[in-house]
């Protein structure tokens, strides 16, 4: 158990270092959000913290694993088109 916690703590420190160095991809706000959540969970539930770090890494993982495209957040234009189609069928 202690070994797993140590791995998560090191992983957290690496991600924090990336943010501090400016070496990141994707919206910075969400990276900070996931890092904040990971830190909040770290003390009591390192497995949950590890999941938050997975979310931090999602953009990088999507490049490596294209099947994650299903989890891609749609653009504003895509949302508008889907909404217009939905709303148009109701009127």
Model confidence over 19-65: pLDDT tens digits?
A: 888 866 667 788 888 899 999 998 899 899 999 898 888 877 777 77
Total domains present in the chain: 1
Choose among 6, 13, 2: nearest CA to 53.
Answer: 13
Q: What is the pLDDT of residue 22?
A: 81
Q: What is the pLDDT of residue 13?
A: 93
14-47: b (≥16 Cβ within 10 Å) or e: ebbebeeeeebeeeeeebeebbebbeebbeeebe
Q: What is the pLDDT of residue 23?
A: 63
Give this prediction's pTM.
0.63
Q: Containing domain of residue 34, as a range?
A: 2-90
Torsion of CA 6, 10, 16, 18, to 10 degrees: -160
């Amino acid at each position: 158990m202690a070994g797993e916690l140590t791995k998560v703590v090191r992983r957290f420190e690496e991600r924090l270092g990336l943010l501090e160095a400016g070496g990141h991809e994707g919206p910075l706000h969400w990276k900070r959000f996931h890092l904040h959540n990971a830190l909040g969970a770290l003390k009591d539930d390192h497995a949950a913290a590890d999941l938050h770090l997975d979310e931090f890494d999602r953009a990088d993982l999507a490049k490596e694993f294209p099947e994650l495209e299903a989890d891609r957040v749609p653009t504003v234009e895509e949302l508008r088109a889907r909404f217009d189609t939905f709303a148009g069928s109701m009127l």
